[in-house]
A = this chain, B = another copy of it.
Amino acid sequence: MMDVPLTTWLLFEGAATHHRHSEIVSRQPGGELFRYTYGNFSERTRKLMNAFDTMGIAPGAVVATLAWNSYRHLEAYFAVPCTGRVLHTLNVRLSPDELAFILRDAGDVAVLVDPEFLPLIEQIAPRVPSLTHIVVLTDDAAAAADSTIVAYEQLLAEAESDYAAPELDERQPASLCYTSGTTGQPKGVVSTHRSLFLHALAVTSAAGICVGPGDSVLPQVPMFHASAWGLPFAAVGVGAKLVFFGGPLEAAPFVDLLLDEQVTVSAGVPTVWVSVADELERRPGANEHLRHIISGGSQPPAALIEHYSRKLGIPLVQAWGMTETSPLASVAWPQHRMRSWTEESVTHAARRQAGLPLPGVLVRLRDEDGNALAFDGASMGALEVRGPWVTDEYLHGRGAENFTEDGWFVTGDVAIGSPDGYFVISDRTKDLIKSGGEWISSVDMEAAIMAMPAVIEAAVVAAPDPKWGERPVAYVVPRPGKSIELEMIRQHLETTGFPRWQLPDRVEVIDEIPKTAVGKFDKKVLRALDGS
């Protein structure tokens, strides 16, 4: 068979010929719609490739982006790796100190930045000696305040649109993303051309997110984190219509975009689907084109899955993964034999699970002594993953303890495998509560508390206990006008099946659960409150 390297160029190549009339629609943060074709995208991306050459950005150099989802961000997604450079997406929610650390750590030489984040970059640029080029994603030449700053459209206006496919090795670095773990320094994960191609193909699979030429895809996951779950690479590879919602989520304009652009597949974290559920309910025929939505990043509440299925007629399908797994590792599609099952059984067996591994991804569960655990619906163990799009190291050799000697990645998640072959995340290893020698899952308890009508958010963490080692404490955000007391929570948990010894001894009412830059509960902060 031909020795054709698996590269991002291979995904890009068809845009000009086979998908040239397919559309890309990009909502700017102000609300304005920008609309063009794959033909335009292909031409402009080639111009950007030439611009990088003209700017003297070396092969293999790291080029950052600090931007919302947009067509210009998409152009960078291809122009940077397709020319042998490394695309480094920066999370817009990081603090200046975190950004400066990451840019310095990665040795970025250029950054493509949305106008609103330019002051932030200018503030930290002096602390990043490698950074020699700042490109503002705008057509406003005035943005180029000094000689190191240039407007994106000015660069493109001066560039040629022909660009010959370069020689690329499928194992060379193509992109870089830092994990914003809740502990320790941020750690860089490098993807190769091979891993991006394979992951993109798996995303297009009916076992993945299921994206083909007939789809219109709205990745509401940010391009600045975990490559928007690989959807930009996957969608361009198959010629799907791509729809971007730039800027922070707003329910009504988001749903407008979803319906107007006849979106068939969308993907985002559970809070997105919580935020837009009411708005979707107000629009008849919201599911006319929308075939399914993918929810990942954390476990969606069971009520949310049911709401989408019963009220809106839209399957909400869970996916699981991490930056270290590119990120898509599993998707919770129901199996064919479940067609004859009740809706309730399917929800329990499939929809509430983290998923079935994609073809190519291997998953195992191990106990504290390293013994393999069966998928028996009961045994809870450390989740470990292996596959051609799973990382085997962090940049600069950090976090070596996350890789086993036999070549598996230790996710830090604790999971239970089901007899049906799915697995579900019980907790982060470090968030498990060990009380009297037995494990308590904080995630299950949080989900149960958040199902109470009076509760908006809840996080459960371990507090040190002289007798039991650790005991659970619930931090709860009540709905406005509602009050929450310990006994209400204990009673609710007991009626939903938690044994008495697991029930929390203490409840703390707070205004908001602290969150990380990717929107996850920051339990490090909560634990610090308790001095643990």
Interface residues of A (CB under 8 A from B): 1-4, 6, 10-11, 13-14, 17-23, 190-192, 194-195, 197-198, 200-202, 204-207, 210-216, 237-241, 262, 264, 289, 326, 333-339, 356-357, 359-360, 362-363, 375, 386-392, 407, 409, 417, 419-422
Q: Which residue of B lies closest to A263 (CB)?
A: B336
A207, B200: Cβ atoms under 8 Å?
no
Looking at the assembled complex, report how far the CB atom of A102 sits from the nearest CB atom of chain B, in whole angstroms. 20
B212 touches A359 (CB 8 A): no
A262→B339 contact, CB < 8 A: yes
Q: Chain A interface secondary structure, helix, strand, loop or mixed?
A: loop
The answer on a CB contact under 8 Å between B388 and A2 is yes
Query: In whole angstroms, how far apart are the Cα atoms of A336 and B409 in the complex?
Result: 38
Smallest beta-carbon distance A498→chain B, Å: 29
Do the beta carbons of A11 and B359 come within 8 Å of each other? yes
Tell me whether A1 and B337 are in contact (CB under 8 A). Answer: no
Other contacts beyond A23-B337, A207-B213, A239-B421: 16, CB < 8 A: A1-B392, A2-B390, A2-B392, A6-B388, A14-B359, A17-B421, A21-B421, A201-B205, A201-B359, A205-B205, A206-B206, A206-B238, A207-B239, A210-B212, A213-B335, A262-B339
Q: Is there an interface contact between B336 and A6, defined as CB atoms closer than 8 Å?
A: no
Given contacts A4-B386, A195-B1, contact A336 B18 (CB under 8 A): no
Centre residue among A2, A334, A391 by max chain B CB count within 10 A: A2
Task: Among B1, B192, B362, point to the contact of A192 (Cβ < 8 A).
Answer: B1
Instruction: List the B side residues contacting A11 at CB < 8 Å.
Output: 359
**Contact call A214/B21, Cβ cutoff below 8 A:** no
Q: Cβ of A191: which chain B residues have Cβ within 8 Å of it?
A: 1
- B residues near A207, Cβ cutoff 8 Å: 204, 211-213, 237-239
**Which residue of chain B has the shortest Cβ distance to A217 in the bound complex?**
B336
Given contacts A1-B194, A391-B2, A392-B1, contact A336 B240 (CB under 8 A): yes
- A3's partner among B19, B336, B392, B421 (CB-CB below 8 A) is B392
Contacts of A387 in B (CB 8 A): 2, 4
